[in-house]
Homo-oligomer: A and B are copies of this chain.
Amino acid sequence: MNLQFWFEFASTYSYPAVMRIDKAAAARGVSIEWRPFLLGPLFHAQQGLKDSPFNAVPVKGSYMWRDMERICERYSLPFRRPGRFPQNGLMAARITHSLGQEDRPNFVKAVYQANFVHDRDISDPQILHAAARRAGLDPLETLAAMTSEPVKQQLKDETAKAADLGIFGAPSFLTEDGELFWGNDRLEDALDWAVRGTLRPNSQN
């Protein structure tokens, strides 16, 4: 079974999903397709927003930052609220698109940790260089994708594809039979659907 995992490097709730998805997918025998896209153009086209909804609607932002603290504590994930939000994930997304699926998870995780644990600027080539090295990649070769015209176009196409699929936020998950799930807290639902074609009955009551 396969699950498409659509994420945006600036997205807060994508961070716990990125850190959790490998283990949760392996437990169910689901393979993950890592697909970074840009959420900014979708926010603008769909909602007329020029900034994250968490900045545009401060009451939502306050809730989200507290919720992130609670969620990361639940999953024992280190988390520090970044000094700037949202960060510019364009270069990281381009690089990821230039990598094969097998090389994506480690690089992606290193970038999210740079953003949400170490409060680094993820548009800075030095930070991306370090992330590539941490992921066991050749840094210079990897960073070449930042200015590659074909990669630029590929990322634009992927972002258009996300819109076509009905995606409006991140993280989003798409099953082979076309079911879309939005949000870190729907990760398990999406994986269960990928396996069973339905949700598991609620077992928490």
> How many monomers of this chain does the complex have?
2
| A43→B178 CA distance, assembly (Å) | 31
Given contacts A63-B182, A205-B20, contact A168 B73 (CB under 8 A): no
The reply to whether B200 and A168 contact each other, CB–CB distance below 8 Å, is no
The yes or no answer to A201 lying at the interface (CB within 8 A) is: yes
Given contacts A73-B198, A186-B185, A199-B70, contact A205 B57 (CB under 8 A): no
The yes or no answer to A188 lying at the interface (CB within 8 A) is: yes
Name the interface size band of chain A: 35 or more
The reply to whether B205 and A168 contact each other, CB–CB distance below 8 Å, is no
The yes or no answer to A161 lying at the interface (CB within 8 A) is: no
Highest count of chain B CB atoms <10 Å: which of A74, A181, A205: A205
Chain A contacts with B in 39-55, Cβ cutoff 8 A: 46-47
Query: In angstroms, how far is the closest chain B Cβ from the Cβ of A202?
Result: 6
Chain A contacts with B in 125-175, Cβ cutoff 8 A: 166-168
The reply to whether A63 and B188 contact each other, CB–CB distance below 8 Å, is no
The yes or no answer to A84 lying at the interface (CB within 8 A) is: no
- Which residues from chain A sit less than 8 Å from chain B, CB to CB? 20, 23-24, 27, 46-47, 56-57, 59-60, 62-63, 66-67, 70-71, 73-76, 166-168, 179-182, 185-186, 188, 198-202, 204-205
